[in-house]
A and B are shown apart, each in its own frame.
Chain A
């Protein structure tokens, strides 16, 4: 059963930010509530006041700008899944949405909520990381834009201040030939927390690998990039050997724990396997394979 709480229903973003403006940790924004209500029912989290931002217009919708798209923080996973705009710019995010929980949760859960919750297993994080996404954070007094990589601090910890909310997520567009992909390894085909997940973004430049970005989930206190692996590949022709070396570097960059879903050794190995598979797949897709 949910503990007692006050519910505030602001009509617009300004009102919501006013409500959060006292920087009171007992006042918490809520949208889909798919994480928060679970925590509240089990009384792990008992905020005194919930500010419902779910229907605030400024936080909904997917905007097309010249150089980026802006996904409102209250856009649901189901909306992402059927967005042609996102499919064109960030295919890996579509793949993440497809494997996200189940249809009921996808109808409620929002992209902002998934990031603000900051689970190491957050399904949208690796894909957004490889697309160099930024988060736009608003408070009553302040607005700032941060690279997503700087947003996460640790297990369920972010730089988000008590008076701040995520206004939107920016995903840059590119004119260069590129592709991205995401794979989540769970203990069940659907509706399972990932044991390990990897996203890869790849650009093609002069017949070789241009910019490349690799990100991993569930294998460290926060979703993280595999910078050393990326560096190794940039500007190179993609041989199977090189891909394996990069996958090894990605695995080395992970720092998984053992829990009931899998051992640390298994997870580290899966980073290697998934990174290699995704790189191979994208190299084939982009006609970059040098083998």
Chain B
């Protein structure tokens, strides 16, 4: 598939601007007459609001306005259900309680906005916090997922009978029958802890209402510019083309920036229109921890039934999923867990049940991995428990049960986040594992290295796991490709970019078709004035879905180049060639034309055109898959554990990954390494801890530790395999979440192995003290 541009590790177009500090981020935006917003947030996680008195704040010099829920009148209403539940799953229960923009009558999580203050500066706005008197009646908080469903538990939403947000059962085959036939049945309770997205740049929102042109411009750090534009327009009673959403450069997304109904999204456009002045809000880190969405936090009761030879007969998994105080994002996360629990193994009988629970914690929406790491963690832990029980090697039991290419496409019987039954399109799962074992030297480590090091008193262990990554889901994306009279190309698509390298990878797709250098291709993402259809950047879909739309548009432009040049040169199309910014006749290269000149000719201003001919070297195209493409891989990790301090050092990390065709292998590696660092963070460093009162104890980077360069593995190796997907012309599968998905499972397995199997660990987030506690309990 690799060509002159496509598939090459080309340096990124955007880096010169980013690395020299010349890129514009949202906080760089400064408009004449701009006001600043600050949100007064609740200290309590669960409480009744008695009274909020802000009269003193209005007297403070520089304060322009203060609003509470009551002040928004009819405009105050719960936000949209951003992702509806899949109606295809029969018998499922889903109680929609969408996020409210600002607390009214009741507070449901610590950090929920109580009042918004608009002032001449952010300093003044925050000083005014002290002027506001909030009378509140604290209520018992709901935190424990299982206790939340017990009778008599305090209710997060008092109009419901319980804290149950959803109950979804999916089954293929018949687990109970399989269980009855099994030689071995293993049951475990498995915990997956809560993690933040923690993008380097927090969220931000700037809005300007231009009264005379009746145009609203919004700059936002959103992953979903078009849905944000649509919801703002709908809420404000404007046409879509009266609202322009622009995403400047964004310092990381990781999921939470997909939300379109947080306080800033909803309230600031209304206030800007009312005050007729631009308003800016930049989130601080504490706000980001408290009141931007985060993920994980599930409790699983899982069971695996096998023959004594280690063949899986069935898996049952009943799990509690924390959705936080509201559920605006439907069931995307737990559905991903359901689809990823058994996806890579042959499991003929599978019963999976979601019990989604409301708690007095921040709302849960996808964070890189988005439910997939939970499913993989549960399944891989079950496999390890089974291997121990059956006295098999962890790699051997996996190899025995992995699906093989002949089985694809495989209908899974489980409906996923895109509301259709999952289909595994392609892949070579055994080869992923084989290659991983080969690179890490699995056999040699087990047979020679580990016994020798153990004899020296070292505690070294290896973890080896496999995973899939459902990616590239629908519904669709679109793009417009235009060759300008300057001979350069403009590409516009509806998704936004948070660091994925789209300005280069998308340009490579186009360059390959139109024969214009990547440096001369300008990619515009996240500006609704440039392209106004699309869904957004999520679910590892940018490269595969938007990339395919861009490819389709570029192919159309190529066809237009050949068609017009054929007429001008009076040569059949097959005699023409395109490259280096021009088109020429193969047999007579001196007969050529610059593509810029051809673009001018494609847009005649006098004369006539043939029927059906569209002007310009321009085309718009869309792409929507019937279902998502599934990437896959395997990970091996060798750790060295200090048996006294329980500090863990990752000595060697190997990932073999298959995401189909690579557009830019360098960018791809960066994505995978980034995911691994997030996975290592999830396994050993990063943990959101709420106390019994619903207070977030880890609401700063002092307490929420992300791994740094010094904590990365001493040796990292990445192996690529390419199994192209038949779902799109380019054969691309997504990769954005790959590294984050398998890493906690591999880490925990390696730690157990380093401890000679003395303890069994059934939770995803460890730290030295936690490992110490496991060993203590054992003694």
Write the residues of chain A forming the contact surface with B, with a CB cutoff of 8 angstroms.
1-4, 42-43, 185, 187-193, 195, 260-263, 265-267, 269-270, 273-274
- List 8 tightest A-B contacts by C-beta distance, closest first: A262-B769, A266-B769, A189-B710, A273-B644, A266-B772, A1-B126, A260-B689, A1-B123
B137 within 8 A of A: no
The answer for the CA separation of A261 and B687 in the assembled complex, in Å, is 10
Closest chain A residue to B703, Cβ basis: A260
Known: A187-B685, A189-B710, A262-B767. A4 touches B123 (CB 8 A): yes
A contact residues around B703 at 8 Å (CB): 260-261
The answer for the CA separation of A190 and B705 in the assembled complex, in Å, is 10
Select the residue from A190, A266, A269 with max chain B CB neighbours within 10 A.
A266
**A3:B126 contact, CB within 8 angstroms:** yes
**B708:A260 contact, CB within 8 angstroms:** no
**A266:B768 contact, CB within 8 angstroms:** yes
The answer for the CA separation of A269 and B710 in the assembled complex, in Å, is 26
The answer for the CA separation of A185 and B767 in the assembled complex, in Å, is 12
The answer for the CA separation of A262 and B123 in the assembled complex, in Å, is 36
Select B708's contact among A188, A262, A269, A273, beta carbons within 8 Å. A188
**B768:A188 contact, CB within 8 angstroms:** no
Closest chain B residue to A264, Cβ basis: B769
**A189:B702 contact, CB within 8 angstroms:** no
B59 within 8 A of A: no
**A1:B122 contact, CB within 8 angstroms:** yes
Closest chain B residue to A272, Cβ basis: B644
Which residues of B681-701 have CB atoms within 8 Å of chain A's CB atoms?
685, 687, 689, 697-698
Question: 1/0 per residue B6-45: CB within 8 Å of A?
Answer: 0000000000000000000000000000000010000000
**A195:B286 contact, CB within 8 angstroms:** no
Closest chain A residue to B647, Cβ basis: A185
The answer for the CA separation of A190 and B710 in the assembled complex, in Å, is 7
**B768:A195 contact, CB within 8 angstroms:** yes
B226–chain A nearest beta-carbon distance, Å: 32
A181–chain B nearest beta-carbon distance, Å: 16
**A195:B705 contact, CB within 8 angstroms:** no
B146 within 8 A of A: no
18 pairs of residues in contact across A and B, judged by CB atoms under 8 Å: A1-B38, A1-B284, A3-B127, A4-B127, A42-B286, A43-B126, A185-B645, A187-B705, A188-B685, A260-B689, A260-B697, A260-B703, A263-B769, A266-B768, A266-B769, A270-B645, A273-B645, A274-B645
B contact residues around A187 at 8 Å (CB): 685, 705, 767-768
Question: 1/0 per residue B613-639: CB within 8 Å of A?
Answer: 000000000000000000000000000
**A263:B772 contact, CB within 8 angstroms:** yes
Known: A195-B768, A273-B645. A266 touches B708 (CB 8 A): no
A contact residues around B135 at 8 Å (CB): none
Known: A260-B698, A260-B703, A262-B769. A189 touches B711 (CB 8 A): yes
A contact residues around B705 at 8 Å (CB): 187-188, 192
B707 within 8 A of A: yes
The answer for the CA separation of A191 and B647 in the assembled complex, in Å, is 16
The answer for the CA separation of A195 and B705 in the assembled complex, in Å, is 13
B contact residues around A3 at 8 Å (CB): 123, 126-127
B776 within 8 A of A: yes
**B708:A189 contact, CB within 8 angstroms:** yes
Closest chain A residue to B712, Cβ basis: A189
B contact residues around A261 at 8 Å (CB): 703, 767, 769
B contact residues around A1 at 8 Å (CB): 38, 122-123, 126, 284
A contact residues around B644 at 8 Å (CB): 273
**A266:B773 contact, CB within 8 angstroms:** yes
B647–chain A nearest beta-carbon distance, Å: 8
B680–chain A nearest beta-carbon distance, Å: 11
B711–chain A nearest beta-carbon distance, Å: 6
The answer for the CA separation of A260 and B193 in the assembled complex, in Å, is 13
Closest chain A residue to B701, Cβ basis: A191
Select A190's contact among B123, B702, B708, B769, beta carbons within 8 Å. B708
A contact residues around B646 at 8 Å (CB): 266
A contact residues around B127 at 8 Å (CB): 3-4
Select A2's contact among B123, B687, B710, beta carbons within 8 Å. B123
The answer for the CA separation of A260 and B691 in the assembled complex, in Å, is 10
The answer for the CA separation of A190 and B711 in the assembled complex, in Å, is 9
| A3-B123, A185-B768 known, 17 other contacts, Cβ within 8 Å | A1-B123, A3-B127, A42-B286, A187-B685, A188-B705, A188-B707, A188-B711, A189-B708, A193-B702, A260-B697, A261-B703, A261-B767, A263-B769, A265-B772, A266-B646, A270-B645, A273-B644
Question: 1/0 per residue B381-422: CB within 8 Å of A?
Answer: 000000000000000000000000000000000000000000
The answer for the CA separation of A43 and B702 in the assembled complex, in Å, is 16
A contact residues around B645 at 8 Å (CB): 185, 270, 273-274
B contact residues around A267 at 8 Å (CB): 769
B contact residues around A42 at 8 Å (CB): 286
The answer for the CA separation of A252 and B767 in the assembled complex, in Å, is 24
The answer for the CA separation of A43 and B773 in the assembled complex, in Å, is 36
B330–chain A nearest beta-carbon distance, Å: 31
B270–chain A nearest beta-carbon distance, Å: 24
Closest chain B residue to A2, Cβ basis: B123
B679–chain A nearest beta-carbon distance, Å: 16
The answer for the CA separation of A185 and B646 in the assembled complex, in Å, is 11
B contact residues around A274 at 8 Å (CB): 645
A109–chain B nearest beta-carbon distance, Å: 14
The answer for the CA separation of A193 and B705 in the assembled complex, in Å, is 10
B687–chain A nearest beta-carbon distance, Å: 8
The answer for the CA separation of A262 and B647 in the assembled complex, in Å, is 12
**B773:A263 contact, CB within 8 angstroms:** yes
B441–chain A nearest beta-carbon distance, Å: 26
The answer for the CA separation of A260 and B770 in the assembled complex, in Å, is 10
A190–chain B nearest beta-carbon distance, Å: 5
**B776:A265 contact, CB within 8 angstroms:** yes
B297–chain A nearest beta-carbon distance, Å: 16
Closest chain A residue to B691, Cβ basis: A260
B703–chain A nearest beta-carbon distance, Å: 6
B contact residues around A189 at 8 Å (CB): 708, 710-711
Closest chain A residue to B707, Cβ basis: A188
The answer for the CA separation of A145 and B286 in the assembled complex, in Å, is 40
Select the residue from B127, B644, B645, B703 with max chain A CB neighbours within 10 A.
B645
Closest chain A residue to B36, Cβ basis: A1
Closest chain A residue to B644, Cβ basis: A273
The answer for the CA separation of A106 and B708 in the assembled complex, in Å, is 17
The answer for the CA separation of A274 and B646 in the assembled complex, in Å, is 12
B contact residues around A191 at 8 Å (CB): 708
Closest chain A residue to B123, Cβ basis: A1
B774–chain A nearest beta-carbon distance, Å: 11
The answer for the CA separation of A16 and B533 in the assembled complex, in Å, is 63
The answer for the CA separation of A266 and B122 in the assembled complex, in Å, is 43
Which residues of B640-676 have CB atoms within 8 Å of chain A's CB atoms?
644-647
A67–chain B nearest beta-carbon distance, Å: 37
The answer for the CA separation of A263 and B774 in the assembled complex, in Å, is 12
A contact residues around B687 at 8 Å (CB): 260
B contact residues around A188 at 8 Å (CB): 685, 705, 707-708, 710-711
**A195:B769 contact, CB within 8 angstroms:** yes
A65–chain B nearest beta-carbon distance, Å: 37
The answer for the CA separation of A230 and B284 in the assembled complex, in Å, is 47
Select the residue from A1, A192, A262 with max chain B CB neighbours within 10 A.
A1
Which residues of B742-777 have CB atoms within 8 Å of chain A's CB atoms?
767-769, 772-773, 776
B144–chain A nearest beta-carbon distance, Å: 17
Closest chain A residue to B698, Cβ basis: A260
The answer for the CA separation of A263 and B776 in the assembled complex, in Å, is 12
The answer for the CA separation of A263 and B647 in the assembled complex, in Å, is 15
The answer for the CA separation of A263 and B685 in the assembled complex, in Å, is 16
The answer for the CA separation of A273 and B768 in the assembled complex, in Å, is 13
A191–chain B nearest beta-carbon distance, Å: 7
B contact residues around A2 at 8 Å (CB): 123
**B286:A262 contact, CB within 8 angstroms:** no
The answer for the CA separation of A92 and B483 in the assembled complex, in Å, is 66
A contact residues around B284 at 8 Å (CB): 1
Closest chain A residue to B121, Cβ basis: A1
The answer for the CA separation of A24 and B126 in the assembled complex, in Å, is 25
